[in-house]
Structure 1
Amino acid sequence: MREAKTIDSLQNDYQYCENVIKHNSASFYHAFKKLPKDKANAVYAIYAFCRYADDSVDETGDKSVQEKNWQNLYHQLNLFEKGEEISSPLWRALRDVFTRYEMDIKPFYEQLEGQRMDIHFNQPNTLAELERYCYYVAGTVGLMLLPILATKNHQHLHMYAVQLGVAMQLTNILRDVGEDYQNNRIYLPVDLLEMEDYKQQDLEASNINPAFIRVWERIANRSEQLYTLFQEGIDYFDKDSQLHVLLSALIYKEILKVVRENGYDCLHTRNYVSEENMVRLKEAVEGLTVGL
């Protein structure tokens, strides 16, 4: 009876995590919901951790509160590492993930370092600096998911996981330029803006001119290059995961196309991939011969 109750409780914990991803990221949920149940649950738990970390910084503009929230989360992760985690749906689900898979705690800590970069935000000077930031907030997510999606080869696929995570984060940044500016963050590198003579006043005025488009496209081209490099490693992921990983990449890459089709308006328009297009991409992926 106790064992059945424990199983039911764990299912409820994973349901909590699934609700988090379903509510916050339709694209991720669409890509991964058809994974084998154990793997899908593990993805949901990791997403819930990342969302928890992100919200601890983004839900308030008060730096002192952000820092306090960050310290609290760091303490919780430290307890988890010691096997003394607090009893909550997120941490119970994550403990089950660490029991089932060959997980590494390091990217979880690095994810928190990325959140701290946002608390003490500095506009990146170069594309290389921007990619470094992207590693901490998103490349780490790829590393977290790797032992679940590539159970046999995960030790050898770090480069591909990081490439995908960085590509996705660059896409996020290109989608959210206006929203980020309203939150006093400019992720577009200083040197690219200076090279094209696109000034902060232009951003404030929401000027979508040729200079802005050139800056945007420089970053988009790098993102697309990373998606291509990642795809070269898709055959090394687990057979039951390849379609879902590739689909997540293609759905995110599609966001760039949507922004272009909307005249590069990422300053006051929310760009997203429609459900219809997600289904189209899924059908296209299923038709590819990538050993799926």
Structure 2
Amino acid sequence: MSEALSALDADYAYCETIVRRDDPDRWLASLFLPEGKRRYAHALYAFSLEIARVREVVSEPMLGEIRFQWWREALEQPDREDVRANPVAAAVTDVLVRFDLPSEHLLQLIDARQFDLFDDPMQSVDELEAYARATSSNLFCLTPMILEPETPSSGFGAASHGGTAYALTGLLRAFPWHAARGQCYVPLDILRRHGLERADAVSGRASPALLAALEEFRALARSHLEIFLTRIEGLPDLARPAFLPICLCEPYLRLMEGKCYDPFKTNVVLPQWRRQWALWRAAKHWQ
């Protein structure tokens, strides 16, 4: 038993390492969680990172689909030897069992990430919001259940809107990298309202029409953020820290409204001290 616990401790430590390296915003936010619960959040975040990076580590979509299928089976068959040998899989399946969490949220995340394997355009705002809920809101549904198992169903409404705002902000920040590899998450219905097509959004030219389309994209993110902020205070105090990463959306969105903003060149980052300050203020305000 002690050897098993030691191995699991190492798995959780590995999860924290990759979250701290590759998702520093969520890692900083996790410092405001109760110390005994942090590693369980790290496991969920590490799982999300592993799924999100699949396109980057495969040479063709079919190989990505094979990886996704492995992860689906890992969630459904956690006692397999190859699952126990993978530190992220071992940790995240332990979290699901330990807190009796529904695996459906993570299965939906995997399914949505299949979109990332291809360069197909996002057709509509509805499709974009569904993608954001599956890839981001699902994590914000699960983390509060670790902190407060009695989180009411209203928490899922906060998670839906907050997670959507967080995902949309992240997609805007990643716009230069996505465009460089031919991907575009700005929905066609937004682009066409401004006289654009998908090719214009990956052209490398920051036209006034494209800037207007991205402004509409930011307005969509803010609309979800505003709804989230009306719902956070209705949640149990113990559950609220799970939503802290969302407080970084507004300062990131403001950075994309400056006169020097170029969606193809601007690296939208906040100094660590500003992120820590925003997280600290939100933690105090949401208590």
- TM-score normalized with structure 1 length: 0.88
SS in 2 for 1:261: coil
Q: Shift of residue 216 of structure 1? A: 0.9
Aligned to 2:229: 231
Residue in 2 that maps onto 1:175: 173
Report the counterpart of residue 250 of structure 1 in structure 2.
247
Aligned pairs, number:
285
| Alignment-derived partner of residue 39 in structure 1 | 37
One-letter amino acid of the counterpart of residue 28, structure 1: R
Indicate the residue corresponding to 2:125 in structure 1: 127
Shift of 1:139: 2.1
Alignment-derived partner of residue 76 in structure 1: 74
After superposition, give the CA deviation of every residue in 1:73-112 in whole Å (9 maximum; x if it has no partner): 22222212xx546213223322332233231111111011
Q: Secondary structure at the match of 2:153?
A: helix
Does structure 1 conserve the Cα–Cα contact (< 8 Å) formed by 2:165 and 2:225? yes
What is residue 89 of structure 2 aligned with on the other side? 91
Q: Is the 8 A contact 1:124 1:187 kept in 2?
A: yes
CA shift digits 1:143-193 (9 cap, x unpaired): 232312442124332121111111111111111222111222111111221
1:108 touches 1:144 (CA, 8 Å); kept in 2? no
Residues 175 and 184 in structure 2, CA contact (< 8 A), matched pair in contact too: yes
Within the candidate set 206, 217, 221, 1:219 is matched to 217
Q: Is the 8 A contact 2:113 2:135 kept in 1?
A: yes
* 3-state SS, counterpart of residue 264 of structure 1: coil
CA RMSD of aligned residues (A): 2.3
Q: Tell me whether 1:184 sits opposite 2:182 in the alignment.
A: yes
SS class of match (2:77): helix
- The Cα shift of 1:241 comes to 4.4
Residue 238 and residue 12 in structure 1: after superposition, are their counterparts in 2 closer, same or farther (change >3 A)?
farther
Structure 2: distance between partners of 1:262 and 1:280: 25
Instruction: Give the distance between the partners of 1:236 and 1:226, measured in 2 at CA.
Output: 16
Match of 1:25 in 2: 23
User: Given the superposition, is the C-alpha separation of residues 258 and 61 from structure 1 closer, same or farther in structure 2, using an over 3 Å criterion?
Assistant: farther
Give how far 1:261 is off: 2.7
Q: Residues of 1 paired with 2:140 and 2:236: CA distance?
A: 15
**Structure 2 CA distance for partners of 1:154 and 1:182, relative to 1, 3 Å:** farther
Secondary structure (helix, strand or coil) at the match of 2:256 reads helix
Say whether residues 1:281 and 2:278 are aligned partners.
Answer: yes
Task: Assess if the C-alpha contact under 8 Å between 2:124 and 2:187 holds in 1.
Answer: yes
TM-score by length of 2: 0.89
Sort the Cα spacing of 1:254 and 1:246 in 2 relative to 1 into closer, same or farther, 3 A.
farther
Matched AA of 2:65: E
Q: Aligned partner of 1:180: which letter?
A: H
Partner of 2:64: 66
1:36–1:240 contact (8 Å) kept in structure 2:
no
Q: Would you say the 8 A contact 1:27–1:252 is kept in 2?
A: no
Equivalence for 1:160: 158
Q: Cα gap change, 1:284/1:211 in structure 2, threshold over 3 Å: closer, same or farther? A: same
How many angstroms does 1:27 deviate by? 0.8
Q: What residue number does 2:257 align with?
A: 260
- Would you say 1:210 and 2:208 are equivalent positions? yes
Contact kept? 1:179, 1:268, Cα under 8 Å? no
